[in-house]
Amino acid sequence: MTLGLTLSLALILDAIFGEPRWLWSRVPHPAVLIGRAIGWADRRFNHGTARKLRGVLLCASLILGGLLIGTILQAFGPLVEALAAAILLAQKSLAQHVAQVGDALRVSTGSARIAVARIVGRDTAALDDAGIARAAIESGAENLSDGVIAPAFWFLVGGLPAMLAYKAVNTADSMVGYRTPRHQDFGWASARMDDLLNLVPARLTAALISLGSGRWPAWGQLARDARLHRSPNAGWPEAAMAQSLNVALAGPRTYHGTTQDFPWVHAGGARSIGADDVDRAVTLQWRAWALMLILALIPALVLA
């Protein structure tokens, strides 16, 4: 079985089964195990001198560990590889979490604040309906790249070993890749490596979102909007989603009680948005997923 066919099976399995609660309530999810290892390393090594060097060694260890474990699992055959890859994808769970925000918006603002707080890191207590919808759409776009397209891309590049290495680095970036006094040195390598590994997938995600909306990617406009984001990669899928839905995303938001005046992405788009726009974003996520599935199948069809 080719990498493309194996990935296609993994994408379909994830789309059908997602993350079954009965399983992950009994055994730890691989992402949880990776997170525990990173948390242990943070507590054990992130102190004293040479923190940047220690962070480099952590990042290298995560990559090597992912490559090694992936290679071992790969030896059990394509079905095991497909199952492992499906576990590392997050399409169904992502779509469900974003859709739940839209459903909650139709009930009450309070319910929607609770739902969106599960998927974003910003303060949600004072968000109005439009702010809740924006937060859900932005989270969906960014996590479509990190949780679906990027791991799928790296699987096509190097199979399960490359996919596991990517997931390990991406998890480290989410845990220690912050410019805070504690992590600015220790998390430096993980953050820079995550930027590098997402360079192509983020732009691929933007293209898939645009194509899923029935339009060719407007690369110049995407690049201008993407540069407004504080991340070198996350701005691409967010800009594509904003343009495809014709809504304004980003803008001012509050973290830990402090409001930050971020620029608007696709500033000319609608700002008074709600549940229907969240639903449209979820539809675009699924269309992007379908296009990624087609991309995975193309090599297999060509070689057949």
Residue recorded with tokens 């399409």: 91
pLDDT of residue 96: 96
Q: What is the pLDDT of residue 303?
A: 60
CA 75 to chain centre: 28
Beta pairing, strands 258-260 & 249-250: unpaired
> What pLDDT is recorded for position 304?
56
What is the structure's pLDDT at 239?
Answer: 96
- Rounded Cα gap, residues 241 and 25, in angstroms: 33
Counting Cβ atoms within 10 Å, is residue 2 exposed (0-12), middle (13-18) or buried (19+)?
middle
- Predicted structure pTM score: 0.94
Q: What are the tens digits of pLDDT across the range 109-154?
A: 999 999 999 999 888 888 999 999 999 999 999 999 999 999 999 9
The pLDDT of residue 124: 87
Instruction: Supply the pLDDT for residue 231.
Output: 86
- Alpha carbons 195 and 212: distance in angstroms, whole number: 25
Which residues of the chain have a pLDDT value below 70?
300, 302-304
Please write the tens of the pLDDT for every residue from 74-123: 999 999 999 999 999 999 999 999 999 999 999 999 999 999 999 998 88
Tell me, what's the pLDDT at 299? Answer: 74
| 152-182 burial code (b ≥16 CB/10 A, e <16) | bbbbbeebbbbbbbbbbbbbbbbbbbeeeee
- 144 contacts 288 by C-beta, under 8 angstroms: yes
The pLDDT value recorded for residue 252 is 87
Could you tell me which residues come within 8 angstroms of residue 232 by beta carbon, excluding any fewer than 6 positions away?
195, 199
Decide: residue 101, CB within 10 A, 0-12 exposed, 13-18 middle, 19+ buried.
Answer: buried
Q: What's residue 154's pLDDT?
A: 98
Distance (Å, whole) CA 225 – CA 244: 13
As a whole number of angstroms, the distance between CA 20 and CA 17 comes to 6
d(CA 39, CA 37): 5
